[in-house]
Amino acid sequence: MKDAPRQSCQIIAPDAYPQMLSRQNAARASETLRSAQTALKAQAAMEAQVPAMRTAILGYAEELENARGDMALVFEKAHEIRGFAETAGLVTTGRIADILCRYMDDMERIKKPVDAMIVALNVAAIARAARTEDGDVAVGEKVAAELAALVARRLADANQA
């Protein structure tokens, strides 16, 4: 079998690309995207996906619990949860995942090891919140506030060490 002849690439200047939409069509598209009807359709589409997102977050929470000691995997799963938990109606779950991600980021930034106990507490709280978010919101918020305070103290201690 013969080698295919090499074709040279053609460089196209940025201003030479064809317009995807005419100015008139672009204005119409922009107006449509900003309309109340489009917003309602988008909201309905998001709400329709909430059960699937909750299921995914529960899966991430389980993977997070099983990641024992693998801090890179813990961070990855907590980051995924943080990314879309609020959209799925799991506000406290997302808040606790955010606390954990920020803690891990900050400890890496100051080149200090993370405290495995703090990570474990946050992981347990994320999993619990994901499973019981519809329960007592006040308790979830209290737990999130206490974890945030604990993380802040540990970060302050690490910065002084």
* Count of domains forming the chain: 1
Q: Is residue 2, in this structure, part of any structural domain at all?
A: no
Q: Is residue 128, in this structure, part of any structural domain at all?
A: yes
Between 157 and 102, where is the model more confident?
102
Give residue-wise pLDDT tens across range 50-92. Answer: 999 999 999 999 999 999 889 999 999 999 999 889 888 899 9
Q: Which of 41, 145, 48 is nearest to 89 (CA)?
A: 48
- Residues 44 and 26: their CA atoms lie apart, in Å, by 25
Instruction: Give the model's pLDDT for residue 136.
Output: 67
**Residue 76 belongs to what domain range?**
50-160
The tokens 């709280």 sit on which residue? 125
Q: Is residue 106, in this structure, part of any structural domain at all?
A: yes
Output the domain CATH number for residue 61.
1.20.120
